Chains A and B, each alone.
Chain A
Amino acid sequence: MKASAETTALQAEDGQLIAGNPTFHTVSESISRIVEVKTTKAWYVLFGFFSSIALIFVAMIGYLFWEGVGIWGLQIPVAWGWAIVNFVFWVGIGHAGTLISAILFLLRQPWRTSINRFAEAMTIFAVICAGTFPGIHVGRVWVAYYMFPLPNQMSMWPNFRSPLLWDVFAVGTYFTVSLLFWYTGLIPDLATLRDRAKSKIRKAIYGAFALGWRGSHRNWQHYELAYLLLAGLATPLVLSVHSVVSFDFAVSNLPGWHTTIFPPYFVAGAIFSGFAMVMTLALIARKVYNVENFITMRHLENMNKIILVTSLMVGYAYSIELFVAWYSGNPFERFAFWNRATGPYAWAYWTMVTCNVIVPQVFWSRRMRRSIPVMFVVSILVNVGMWFERFVIVVSSLANDFLPSSWHYFKPTIFDVGMLIGSFGLFFTLFLLFLRFLPMIAMAEVKAVLPQANPHYYEPHGNGKEASVKAGSHA
């Protein structure tokens, strides 16, 4: 019995990536149809709901500009509060999209094709949400352009030694490259939508964005080259963006912020939370849009494995931080971490540890990795935990700093909470628009991993190379 279970496990790993044995045509059909049918009522209801929340966000930002950052729960020494927590949280979410589209591509993981499109869309929307927060945090927003090194007659320049400025460049580059990467991948699919379009206006719009794609041999050759180069360029960005974000904290002298493991630790956490978000979205989308044959249990299980690996990396970072704080022999370091685990924010710290380190351990079990309710709950808990991780880092380190007389307990205001919820409204509004107007799964790429895409598929048997040329076996 045991042997047969293991055989199935191994076969599942080697089997087809796409279930239901589709043809090229049925792939186009089932993905394109999603954006071609009449908009459903449910979509309007959801869109109305989330865009209303996004509007609350906009209104609150307006009030913030009128009144100033005092409407948040900020007080010295906690001069950085939820706005920064939300910024780091959203930037982190984006990282899974880039990892899937760039690193998994370079590592020849063909299973990524089913999930990369909407993961990349998620990246772009998450970065938009993230970028909002530092923008509105600057106090005098009308001079927010000072963040950019614009030549001016006053010879005023941003401080190039400040990681906050590096953030502007890092996130700006990240957004640009992610957008280009996403758009490049979309071109063949946009052309498919153009060719299927029934109305003139639809044909014109998709046609304009498809940039005259004809699917010729030369088109594909250029496309593949551009895609590979963009993957190579995006790969260092997976690491650099969140490393720069971590520098915002780690270059300081504050215990709890200044520790050398921050860059890789933040990157691991970012990928962790990003995959959890991809999981949440994928589980809903595959059910609602009936694409369970494209996002199969194998994809979900692979994502759960990555969630487990990154959870362990994050757990490693927590442990090493804690150990070295003790090992340093420095009373301030020791206090910062002791205070985190037992002080006024202990509830947040243990929420973080439970959600990020303890809960994902269920994925050691294959049954749990393949249970949809379990992975849905875990994916949400992971994002709760990762939000709290940033909260613990930002707030608990600041609230109990070097002067005990100024210590106080940080309390968020309605505007802190409203803007966090509002940012989710913005995120889901954008995501719903994406689902409505663009193909949520990369059709052209999925076709390339079907068995019949292999040039030797129709050849007579017996050339001895079948085992190696079977689609998906180049792992």
Chain B
Amino acid sequence: MKTKFNRDTFRITEAGNIGKFALIAGVAGLAISAAGYLTDSKQFFYSYLTAFTFWATIGLGGLFFTMLHHLTSATWSVVLRRMTETVMATLPMLIILFLPVVLGMHDLYHWTHKDVVEHDAVLKSKEAYLNMPFFFIRTALYFVVWFLLSRTLYNSSLQEDQASSPELTMKMKRVSAPGMVLFGLTLTFASFDWLMSLDPHWYSTIYGVYVFSGTVLAILSFIILLAQYLRKQEILEDVVTVEHYHDLGKLLFAFTVFWAYIAFSQFMLIWYANIPEETLFFDHRWHGSWKAVSMIILFGHFVVPFVVLLTRAAKRNLLILKVMSVWLLVMHWVDIYWLVMPNLHKEGAVVTWMDITTMIGVGGLFIWLFWNRFVSQPIVPVKDPKFAASVQFENI
């Protein structure tokens, strides 16, 4: 069944089968992964955490992009706003999908074992932070913040669809300003808690910024793919024009470089200072086949997209952008895999079927939630005062 679109109301009238397919894939993916839990629970939890983080960063990217749009009073991105808003609105739902991580705490996080902590002076000294109750309180707090921010922003945006008013525009700005501060803090501490504490002895102050840089790339890639999917269905093909893709391409390029800058800063400083407790992180990732994964990240996450996206022509070529978005999403997954998995497979990289099924499982449910919400409302903020200007926007 083909997706149908009403050009006057900007609503998708017949949503097609995407939601249904995504739900089936999600449930099936998780069900098969559950079988993995029965055979190798440790592997299951590590794979699951990787998949969960991947989709959570896309959701967080939606929140970031939406708030940045409001704060900078941008015009060009108005036509993309409802897409990023819907991604953002999906984020709080992930709290339900976080439950397997809670169940797997003991398999994932070394510091949850009381007996280990007792005999480890370093872990003992940070017990005030790394303990289970506080971990749960913090995670709940992150989701509460994300829920409140995304709900307020999303609802105001829908309200604007009825009747636009300066108060609503200002309200979204006002929420976004402190929202951005909260976003920065929650993203940082979530990355410390969920990812960095997998190796509880190791620490790096730039870690939050590193995860953030990947998050922005993930949402940009996701939006490019979504807009191109709609374009193929002849939806918004004259609203999201090549000019918008060009701008998305510029940001994709800029954040590819930003990611490399942050990754290099972290690597170079640790390599140079050569303090054993810090170099261990890279030592693990330079061991056996992990070395190959590290090289894939260096070339795949930076060199290739840098060269490909450098020219103006490439940023205005929808096919190149599509390929690079898929590429960068794959690289984003490899990057998270590289952060998580060496804690389990110390001898070398191992990709199991659970890595794939958990991605399909969490991803299917994420897409299902996203798509159902997306088709239930106009897919652009029609009454935004800058909507017409955004459609006509041109790079000069």
A interface list, Cβ under 8 A from B: 2-3, 6-7, 9-10, 13, 106, 236, 239, 243, 247, 250-253, 258-264, 312, 316-317, 320-321, 324, 326-330, 364, 465, 467-468, 473-475
Contacts and interface: CB of A to CB of B under 8 A. Distances in A.
B270 A260 contact: yes
B389 A467 contact: yes
B39 interface: no
B165 interface: yes
B205 A321 contact: yes
B125 interface: yes
Nearest to A263: B265
B169 interface: yes
Contact of A475 (B75, B165, B206, B250): B75
Contacts of A263: 206, 261-262, 265, 269
Contacts of B72: 475
A229 to B, nearest CB: 12
A328 B266 CA distance: 16
A247 B273 CA distance: 10
A364 B178 CA distance: 9
A103 B368 CA distance: 38
B96 interface: no
Given A328-B203, A474-B75, A7 B269 contact: no
A250 B166 contact: no
A326 B389 CA distance: 50
Contacts of A259: 205, 269
A324 B203 contact: yes
B35 interface: no
Contacts of A328: 203
Contacts of B393: 468, 474
Contact of A258 (B75, B123, B275): B275
A328 to B, nearest CB: 5
Interface in B262-300: 262, 265-266, 268-270, 272-275, 277
A467 B111 CA distance: 59
Interface in B214-269: 250, 257, 261-262, 265-266, 268-269
Nearest 3 Cβ contacts at the A-B interface:
A261-B205, A260-B206, A329-B122
A329 B126 contact: yes
Given A260-B270, A324-B205, 12 more contacts: A2-B167, A9-B170, A106-B250, A251-B269, A258-B275, A261-B209, A263-B269, A264-B206, A321-B205, A326-B129, A465-B392, A473-B75
B73 interface: yes
A247 B269 contact: yes
Contacts of B75: 473-475
A197 B375 CA distance: 65
A475 B73 contact: yes
Nearest to B168: A6
B203 A327 contact: yes
B396 interface: yes
Nearest to A467: B389
Interface string B128-161: 0100000000000000000000000000000000
B392 A468 contact: yes
Contacts of B201: 329
B306 to A, nearest CB: 12
Given A258-B273, A467-B388, A3 B165 contact: yes
A320 B388 contact: no
Contacts of A252: 273
Interface in B22-36: none
B112 interface: no
Contacts of B269: 247, 250-251, 258-260, 262-263
B208 interface: yes
Given A3-B167, A475-B75, A330 B277 contact: yes
Nearest to A163: B272
Contacts of B392: 465, 468
Contacts of B1: none
B303 interface: no
19 contacts: A6-B167, A247-B269, A260-B205, A260-B207, A260-B266, A260-B270, A261-B206, A262-B265, A263-B206, A264-B262, A312-B181, A320-B188, A320-B205, A321-B205, A327-B203, A330-B277, A467-B388, A475-B72, A475-B74
Given A239-B261, A329-B122, A329-B123, A13 B73 contact: yes
A443 B214 CA distance: 41
A364 B177 contact: yes
Contact of B388 (A2, A7, A326, A468): A468
B166 to A, nearest CB: 4
A465 B209 CA distance: 41
Contacts of B277: 330
B204 interface: yes
A67 to B, nearest CB: 35
Contacts of B169: 6, 10
Nearest to A315: B181
Nearest to B123: A329
A474 B396 contact: yes
A120 B269 CA distance: 31
A202 to B, nearest CB: 36
Contacts of A251: 268-269, 272-273
Given A252-B273, A263-B265, A320 B170 contact: no
Contacts of B389: 467-468, 473
B184 interface: yes
Nearest to B271: A251
Nearest to A324: B205
Contact of B265 (A264, A327, A467): A264
A6 B205 contact: no
Contacts of A474: 75, 393, 396
A466 to B, nearest CB: 10
Contacts of A261: 205-206, 209
Nearest to B388: A467
B396 to A, nearest CB: 7
Interface in B98-144: 121-123, 125-126, 129
A8 B273 CA distance: 54
A263 B260 CA distance: 13
Interface string B371-394: 000000000000000001100110
Contacts of A321: 205
A320 B265 contact: no
A10 B170 contact: yes
Contacts of B177: 364
Q: Which of A252, A253, A320, A474 has the most B CB atoms < 10 Å from its CB?
A: A320
Nearest to A106: B250
Contacts of B257: 236
Contacts of B125: 329
A216 B192 CA distance: 57
